[in-house]
Amino acid sequence: MYKILPQPERGGYSYAFCKTLLVMKLIVLCLLTTILQVSAKTFAQRVTLNSMKAPLEQVIKEIGNQTGYDFFYSLQVIRKTNPVTVTLKNVSVEEALLKIFNNQPVSYTIAMADKAVVIKAMENKIKTPYINAFFIVKGKVTDEGGNPLPGASIKMLVSGEVVVSDAQGFFELKNLNGEGMIECSYVGYVTQQIRITNKTQFLDIRMLRADNKLDEVVLIGYGTSTKRLNTGSVSSVSSKDITSQPLANPLGALAGRISGMTISQNNGLPGGNYTVQIRGQNSLQSGGTPLYVIDGVPFSGEDINRFGLGAANGGISAFSMINPTDIDRIDVLKDGDATAIYGARGANGVVLITTKRGNSGAARLTANVYRGAGKVSHFIPMLNTQQYLEMRKEAFANDGVEPDEFNAPDLTIYDQNKYTNWQKEIIGGTANVTDAQTSFSGGNNNIRFLMNANYRKEGTVFKGDMGTERIGTRMNLDYISTSGKFSASASAAFSADKTNLITMDLTNTYNLPPNMPLYNADGSLFWDSYQQNPLGSLNQKYKGLTNTLLGNATIKYMPLEGLALKMNLGYNQTTLDQKSSYPSSSFNPAFGMASLAMFGNSRMNNFIVEPTADYSIKSPNFKLNFLAGASWQSTNSTGQSITGENYSNDALLGSIVAAGNLVPQYETIDKYNFNSVFGKVNYSYRDKYLLNATYRRDGSSKFGINNRFGSFGAFGVAWVFSEEEFVKNNLAFLSFGKFRGSYGLTGNDQIENYRYLQIYSLGNPYQQQPATYVMSTSNPDIRWESTRKLEFGLDLGIWKDRFLIGVNYYRNRSDNQIISTSIGTQSGFKTFIQNINALIENSGLEFELNTKNVRGINFTWNTSLNITMPNSKLLEFPGLETSFYKDSFFIGQPVNGQRYYQYLGVNAATGVAAYQDVDEDGTPELVPAPLGTPFYGGISNTFTYRNWSLDFLIQFNHRNGLRNRLSSYNNAAVLGNMSNQNTSVLDRWRSPGNTGTLFPAATAEQGTQLSASYDYFNESNAFFGDASFVRFKSVNLGYRFHGDWLNKLRIADLNIYFQGQNLLTLTKNKYVFDPETSGVGIGTMPALRTFVLGLNCSF
Asked if 539 and 413 touch (Cβ cutoff 8 Å), the reply is no
In 10 A of CB 829, how many CB atoms? 14
Beta strand 817-822 with 769-776 is: unpaired
Give bridge partners of residue 472 from the DSSP assignment: 454, 495
Look up residue 478 and give its amino acid: D
User: What is residue 435's predicted lDDT score, i.e. its pLDDT?
Assistant: 96
DSSP state for residue 741 in the 8-state scheme: E
In 10 A of CB 510, how many CB atoms? 24
Distance of CA 965 to the CA centre of its chain: 31
The alpha carbon dihedral of 1082, 1085, 1086, 1089 has a sign of positive
What is the enclosing helix (H) or strand (E) of 243?
helix 239-243
Asked if 306 and 576 touch (Cβ cutoff 8 Å), the reply is no
Domains in the chain and their CATH numbers? 2-208 (2.60.40.1120)
Look up residue 838 and give its amino acid: A
DSSP state for residue 43 in the 8-state scheme: G
User: What is residue 1050's predicted lDDT score, i.e. its pLDDT?
Assistant: 85
User: What is residue 129's predicted lDDT score, i.e. its pLDDT?
Assistant: 36
Side-chain half-sphere of 578: how many Cα atoms within 13 Å? Answer: 28
Q: Cα separation of 985 and 1002, whole Å?
A: 9
Asked if 715 and 693 touch (Cβ cutoff 8 Å), the reply is yes
- Within 837-985, strands assigned E span 839-856, 859-876, 899-901, 903-906, 913-915, 926-928, 935-945, 948-958, 960-962
Nearest to 843 by CA among 869, 805, 817: 869
The alpha carbon dihedral of 530, 535, 540, 546 has a sign of positive
Asked if 870 and 279 touch (Cβ cutoff 8 Å), the reply is yes
Q: Cα separation of 469 and 171, whole Å?
A: 52
CA trace torsion 929, 931, 253, 604 (10° rounding)? 50
DSSP state for residue 798 in the 8-state scheme: E
- Within 877-920, strands assigned E span 899-901, 903-906, 913-915
- Would you say how long the chain is, in residues? 1099
Q: Cα separation of 467 and 248, whole Å?
A: 12
Q: What is the mean pLDDT of the chain?
A: 87
User: What is residue 45's predicted lDDT score, i.e. its pLDDT?
Assistant: 60
Q: Cα separation of 518 and 474, whole Å?
A: 48
Asked if 178 and 133 touch (Cβ cutoff 8 Å), the reply is yes
Asked if 302 and 635 touch (Cβ cutoff 8 Å), the reply is no
User: What is residue 611's predicted lDDT score, i.e. its pLDDT?
Assistant: 96
User: What is residue 123's predicted lDDT score, i.e. its pLDDT?
Assistant: 57
Interaxial angle between packed helices 56-67 and 93-100, expressed in degrees from 0 to 180 and rounded to the nearest 10: 180
Give alpha helix (H) positions in 267-407: 336-339, 385-399
With a cut of 70, list the residues of the chain below it in pLDDT: 1-45, 112-114, 123-133, 145, 188, 210-211, 1078-1082
Q: Cα separation of 1016 and 966, whole Å?
A: 11
Beta strand 859-876 with 935-945 is: antiparallel
Contacts of 328 (CB under 8 A, 6+ apart): 238, 239, 354, 355, 356, 357
Q: Cα separation of 288 and 306, whole Å?
A: 16
Give bridge partners of residue 740 from the DSSP assignment: 718, 793
Instruction: Determine the 3-state secondary structure of 1025 from DSSP.
Output: strand
User: What is residue 249's predicted lDDT score, i.e. its pLDDT?
Assistant: 93
Q: Cα separation of 74 and 12, whole Å?
A: 8
